[in-house]
C-alpha cells in the first residue's frame, strides 16, 4: 500500500513539475510577443501534454515496468488505436464540420498545431487518469476508475451542464479503458473529442452552441461504436489486476 501511495504522489508531483517547467519555458520564449487567443490555447494544451512522461517515470522509479501502463499487452496496439481513431473520428468529424461552418476563419498554422499537440495532451491525461491511477488504486473497477474520474471532472471548469458533459465523457473513456484492457481506445476518443473542440476554438468558431447535447451524445455514440469494435478483444482485468512488485521482462504482447 505504501508503495502505491508513493507512486501516486510521484505521478502528481512529476505531472505538476513537468507542466510548470513547460509553462515557464514557453513563457520565457514567448515573452514580448503580442497576445493571441488561438496560440494561447495551443500553449495551454502543450503545458498539459508535457505531463505525459510523469506516470511512466513514476512507475519506473517505483520498481515496476513502465510498460505496465499499457495494460496486459505491455505495448501500444497500433492497429487497435488506428481502428478506434477511425470510428471516433467518423463521429466527431460531423461535430467539427458543424462548428467550423457556424463561423470563424480557418488558420492553417493553428489547426496544424492542434493536430500535433492534442494527441499528446490526450495521451498524457489518459495515461494518468485511466492508466496509472486506476492501476494503483486497484480493486473494484468502479473505485479504480471512479476516484480518478471524479478528480478529472473537478479539474475542469464550467457550469453544471458543462460538467455533466465532462462526467459523461469520463465515464465513456473509463469504460473503454476497462473494456479494452489498455489506453488505445480512450486515447482515440479523447483525441477526437478535443480536436472537435479546440480546432474550432482556435479558429474563432462558436463551440458552445448546443454543447450539452453534443458533449453527452457524441462520446456515448462513439463509445457504443468502439464497443462493437472491441468484441473481438477479450477482457483480462486492466485496472484490477495485481501490480508486479519489481520490474520484469516484457510479457508476450497481445494481438493488435
Q: Which pTM value belongs to this model?
A: 0.90
Segment 236-252, tens digit of pLDDT = 666 654 455 554 444 44
Segment 96-131, tens digit of pLDDT = 999 999 888 999 999 999 999 999 999 999 999 999
> What pLDDT is recorded for position 35?
80
> What pLDDT is recorded for position 53?
97
In this structure, are residues 168 and 217 in contact, taking their beta carbons and an 8 Å threshold? no
Domain ranges of the chain: 69-232
Tell me what the pLDDT averaged over the chain comes to. 89
In this structure, are residues 222 and 192 in contact, taking their beta carbons and an 8 Å threshold? yes
> What pLDDT is recorded for position 238?
64
Residue 166 to residue 189: CA distance in whole angstroms: 13
Amino acid at each position: 500500500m505504501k508503495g502505491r501511495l508513493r507512486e501516486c504522489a510521484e505521478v502528481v508531483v512529476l505531472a505538476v513539475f513537468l507542466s510548470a517547467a513547460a509553462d515557464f519555458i514557453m513563457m520565457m520564449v514567448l515573452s514580448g510577443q503580442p497576445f493571441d487567443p488561438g496560440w494561447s490555447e495551443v500553449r495551454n494544451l502543450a503545458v498539459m501534454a508535457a505531463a505525459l512522461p510523469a506516470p511512466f517515470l513514476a512507475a519506473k522509479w517505483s520498481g515496476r515496468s513502465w510498460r505496465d501502463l499499457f495494460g496486459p499487452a505491455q505495448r501500444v496496439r497500433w492497429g487497435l488505436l488506428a481502428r478506434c481513431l477511425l470510428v471516433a473520428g467518423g463521429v466527431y468529424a460531423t461535430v467539427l464540420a458543424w462548428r467550423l461552418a457556424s463561423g470563424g476563419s480557418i488558420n492553417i498554422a493553428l489547426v496544424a498545431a492542434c493536430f500535433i499537440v492534442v494527441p499528446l495532451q490526450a495521451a498524457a491525461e489518459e495515461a494518468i487518469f485511466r492508466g496509472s491511477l486506476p492501476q494503483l488504486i486497484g480493486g473494484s473497477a468502479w473505485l479504480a476508475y471512479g476516484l480518478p474520474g471524479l478528480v478529472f471532472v473537478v479539474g475542469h471548469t464550467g457550469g453544471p451542464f458543462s460538467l455533466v458533459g465532462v462526467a459523461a465523457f469520463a465515464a465513456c473513456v473509463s469504460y473503454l479503458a476497462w473494456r479494452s484492457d489498455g489506453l488505445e481506445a480512450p486515447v482515440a476518443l479523447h483525441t477526437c473529442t478535443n480536436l472537435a473542440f479546440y480546432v474550432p476554438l482556435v479558429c474563432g468558431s462558436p463551440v458552445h452552441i448546443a454543447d450539452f447535447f453534443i458533449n453527452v451524445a457524441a462520446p456515448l455514440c462513439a463509445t457504443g461504436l468502439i464497443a462493437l469494435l472491441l468484441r473481438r478483444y477479450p477482457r483480462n482485468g486492466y485496472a484490477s489486476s495485481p501490480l508486479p512488485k519489481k520490474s520484469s521482462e516484457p510479457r508476450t504482447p497481445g494481438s493488435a
